[in-house]
């Protein structure tokens, strides 16, 4: 079967660093996406990993290990506006992308 | 318009009624998708289209149909709505299958 696991909720402090983990078991793998979704809004693209290693983009970094079926999203210098859900998604092939249920991040002052 | 739009923003519908959710993009993307998002389940693919004139079934297609008459529009139809179809529906598009997807603002549908 297809399965993507992420923690349901996390809480972190403004200015800190938080790591959101994602493990996946899918029938195919063409790449892994992270999306951010604020409450009541549409998901927006954050990052894409197709090869093993770390991709850095400003305050956000994403890591992938294909052999372990594992990824994480690292958020540095947390701001209140980072309070949102973070969705891990695996592109399994063709037009199919499997989304995890998302991790709700609460940033507190 | 710029990007991807959906209509209506929200709708309350009686069970058994027919309903079409509209989706339009102006990015000339080839691929378009319909997802439903339910609490605790994440986004689930209903139907997709890789180019105008072709469509395919996703993970949860039953009770839904789509058409893709042109590049820009991808309507989703519920022929006879049931309460289990109460959800938030997102339309998305990408330049090609597998590329980064851009999502519309969503339609919140309640079936009573």
Three-state SS letters, chain B: CCCEEEECCEEEECCCCCEEEEEEECCCCCEEEEEEEECCCEEEEEEEEEECCEEEECCCCCCEEECCCCCCECCEEECCCCHHHCEEEEEEEECCCCCCCEECCCEEEEEC
Q: How far apart are CA B44 and CA A87, in angstroms?
A: 12
The pLDDT value recorded for residue B98 is: 79
Residue with tokens 């549908």: B109
Helix and strand element counts for chain A (H, E) = 0, 11
The pLDDT value recorded for residue B42 is: 87
The answer on pLDDT for B1 being more than 60 is: no
Cβ count within 10 A of residue A83: 17
B33: contact with A, CB 8 A cutoff = yes
User: Which of A95, A101, A104 is the best residue to mutate to test the B interface, defined by the most B CB atoms within 10 Å of its own CB?
Assistant: A95
The pLDDT value recorded for residue B50 is: 92
Q: How far apart are CA A49 and CA A64, in angstroms?
A: 6
Q: How far apart are CA B4 and CA A98, in angstroms?
A: 21
Walk along chain A (109 residues) and give the pLDDT tens digit of each residue. 789 999 999 999 999 999 999 999 998 999 999 999 999 999 999 999 999 999 999 999 999 999 999 999 999 999 999 999 999 999 988 778 899 999 999 999 9
The pLDDT value recorded for residue B93 is: 96
Q: Would the CB atoms of B42 and A101 count as touching at under 8 Å?
A: yes
Chain A residues with CB-CB distance to B under 8 A? 4, 30-31, 33, 41-45, 48, 87, 89, 91, 93-97, 99-102
């Amino acid at each position: 079967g297809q399965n993507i696991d992420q923690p349901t909720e996390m809480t972190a402090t403004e200015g800190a660093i938080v790591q959101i983990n994602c493990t996946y078991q899918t029938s195919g793998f063409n790449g892994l996406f992270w999306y951010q979704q604020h409450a009541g809004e549409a998901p927006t693209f954050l990052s894409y990993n197709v090869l093993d290693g770390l991709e850095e983009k400003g305050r956000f970094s994403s890591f992938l290990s294909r052999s372990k079926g594992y990824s994480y999203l690292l958020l540095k210098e947390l701001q209140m506006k980072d309070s949102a859900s973070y969705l891990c998604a695996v592109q399994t092939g063709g037009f199919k992308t499997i989304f995890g249920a998302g991790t709700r991040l609460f940033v507190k002052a | 318009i710029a990007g991807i739009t959906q209509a209506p923003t929200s709708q309350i519908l009686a069970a058994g009624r027919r309903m079409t959710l509209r989706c339009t993009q102006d990015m000339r993307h080839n691929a378009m998708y319909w997802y439903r998002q339910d609490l605790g389940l994440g986004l689930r693919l209903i139907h997709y289209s890789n180019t105008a004139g072709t469509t395919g079934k996703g993970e949860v297609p039953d009770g839904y149909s789509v058409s893709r008459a042109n590049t820009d529009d991808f309507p989703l139809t519920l022929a006879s709505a049931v309460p289990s179809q109460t959800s938030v529906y997102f339309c998305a598009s990408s330049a090609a299958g597998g590329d980064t997807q851009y999502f519309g603002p969503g339609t919140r549908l309640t079936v009573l």
